[in-house]
C-alpha cells in the first residue's frame, strides 16, 4: 500500500474477495491478519482473539460519522463468540446493531449487505 495513505489502510468500501490462511483479499491486494472494513476504508486491525474485541479495539468504527454504520458484523474466528455487554452497550449508544458470527459467515454476509448498499461494517478476525 504505497502513496500517502496510512500503512495498512485502503480507502473506500470494498467486498472481501477471499479469506482464510490467516488473512483476507480485497481491492486487488491481500493482508495477513485481522481487518476492520468500514465505510471510510479497510484497515489492518491488531486484534487476534475474540477476548480483545471491545470498544477500545473498535475505536476506528466509533470515529466514523454518526449514522454511517447501522450494522456491525463481527467475525470472531472459526467459532461464534458472543459480544461482551460493554461493547453491545457502546454499539447501541451509536445506533449500531452488533452481530457476532464465525469469520467466514461474517465476510460473506458483509459482501451481501455491502452489495445491497446497506450501512454495514465488519470487524473480522483472521482465521487459520
- Span 74-128, pLDDT tens digits: 999 999 999 999 999 999 999 999 999 999 999 999 999 999 999 999 999 998 7
Measure the CA–CA gap between 104 and 127, rounded to whole angstroms.
Answer: 8
Q: Which residue has the cell 476504508?
A: 41
Q: What is the rounded distance in angstroms from the CA atom of residue 122 to the CA atom of residue 75?
A: 7
pLDDT at site 3: 38
Give the pTM.
Answer: 0.92
List the domains of the chain with CATH numbers.
Answer: 9-124 (3.40.1230.10)
Amino acid at each position: 500500500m504505497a502513496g500517502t495513505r496510512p500503512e495498512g489502510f485502503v480507502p473506500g468500501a470494498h467486498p472481501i474477495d477471499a479469506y482464510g490462511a490467516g488473512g483476507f483479499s480485497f481491492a486487488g491486494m491481500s493482508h495477513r491478519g485481522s481487518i476492520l472494513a468500514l465505510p471510510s476504508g479497510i484497515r489492518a486491525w491488531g486484534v487476534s482473539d475474540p477476548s480483545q474485541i471491545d470498544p477500545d479495539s473498535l475505536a476506528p468504527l466509533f470515529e466514523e460519522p454518526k449514522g454511517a454504520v447501522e450494522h456491525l458484523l463481527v467475525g470472531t474466528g472459526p467459532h461464534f463468540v458472543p459480544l461482551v455487554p460493554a461493547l453491545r452497550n457502546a454499539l447501541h449508544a451509536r445506533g449500531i446493531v452488533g452481530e457476532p458470527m464465525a469469520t467466514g459467515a461474517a465476510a460473506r454476509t458483509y459482501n451481501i449487505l455491502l452489495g445491497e448498499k446497506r450501512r454495514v461494517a465488519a470487524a473480522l478476525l483472521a482465521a487459520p
